[in-house]
């Protein structure tokens, strides 16, 4: 638990937080920190072995967590997730969307099926989870917080061949801002984090993994780490800390915002 003197700023005692993902990405660190701040955390991912490990780690540290096997790209699976949350806890207070998939290749070579896969993980899943979350929050009439974790590439090109990923994440920016305006009067605050230069934050498509293993490197401004990253590379813990700020009492006067975590990339 966080020190008592800080609970008025960052404490989450009594809150229920749903953290969604489609692989490791940022969710283990986010879930662990929210639990440490006092929230009961629901970890939703189709990788049940990952879910079980994160839940065990949180409980081993004295936190409260459960795991629900969920395919965030499936409407039925997402509806089932939030139905189970409602049945178990009554409603939720926090949603953090962590799922991410990048498929990097030149636009003229991009197959439609891979484009659709990228949009499904990075935009469709966010829409589905936000819709079901907002329905519950409206019914409970106690407000809530939503944080969408995207990429600085939605604001500024980072790597060559990143069009599909950037387009999907730019869509999340529009979704975030529109929902923030629509539901502010209900006390539902919606923001997004745009991390960059954080190794392991994004799951790469199998084609990219094969290319990387064969020695191919991505090109573009983001590949010039020594010059473009004044603060060097970040970590998933940096993302988790920013999430905690947004979902706790500290973030009570922020909505519709896009906060960039890029190690100084945009000012280099």
Q: Which residues of 38-64 are buried (b: 16+ CB within 10 A; e: fewer)?
A: bbbbbbbbbeeebbeebbeebeeeebe
253 has catalytic annotation: no
A 10 A CB-CB count for 235 gives 15
CA–CA distance, 209 with 62 (Å, rounded to integer)? 36
Backbone angles phi, psi at 129, to 5 degrees: -70, -40
In the set 165, 183, 245, 253, the catalytic residue is: 165
Both tokens of 171, joined, read 């869509």
Q: Looking at the annotation, which residues are catalytic?
A: 165
């Amino acid at each position: 638990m966080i020190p008592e003197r800080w609970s008025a700023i960052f404490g989450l005692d009594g809150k229920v937080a749903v953290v969604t993902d489609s692989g490791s990405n940022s969710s283990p660190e986010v879930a662990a920190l929210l639990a440490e701040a006092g929230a009961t955390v629901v970890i939703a991912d189709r990788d049940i072995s990952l879910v079980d490990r994160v839940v065990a780690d949180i409980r081993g540290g004295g936190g409260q967590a459960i795991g629900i096997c969920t395919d965030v790209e499936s409407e039925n699976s997402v509806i089932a997730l939030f139905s189970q949350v409602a049945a178990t806890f009554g409603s939720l207070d926090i949603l953090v969307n962590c799922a991410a998939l990048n498929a990097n290749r030149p636009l003229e070579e991009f197959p439609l099926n891979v484009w659709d896969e990228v949009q499904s993980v990075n935009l469709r899943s966010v829409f589905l989870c936000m819709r079901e979350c907002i329905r519950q929050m409206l019914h409970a009439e106690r407000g809530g917080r939503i944080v969408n974790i995207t990429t600085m590439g939605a604001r500024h090109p980072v790597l060559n061949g990143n069009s599909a990923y950037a387009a999907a994440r730019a869509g999340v920016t529009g979704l975030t801002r529109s929902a923030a305006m629509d539901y502010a009067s209900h006390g539902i605050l919606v923001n997004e984090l745009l991390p960059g230069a954080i190794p392991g934050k994004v799951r790469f498509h199998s084609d990219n993994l094969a290319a990387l293993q064969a020695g191919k490197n991505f090109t573009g401004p983001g590949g010039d780490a020594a010059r473009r990253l004044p603060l060097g590379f970040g970590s998933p813990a940096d993302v988790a800390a920013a999430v905690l700020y947004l979902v706790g009492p500290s973030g009570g006067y922020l909505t519709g915002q896009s906060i960039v975590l890029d190690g100084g990339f945009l000012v280099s």
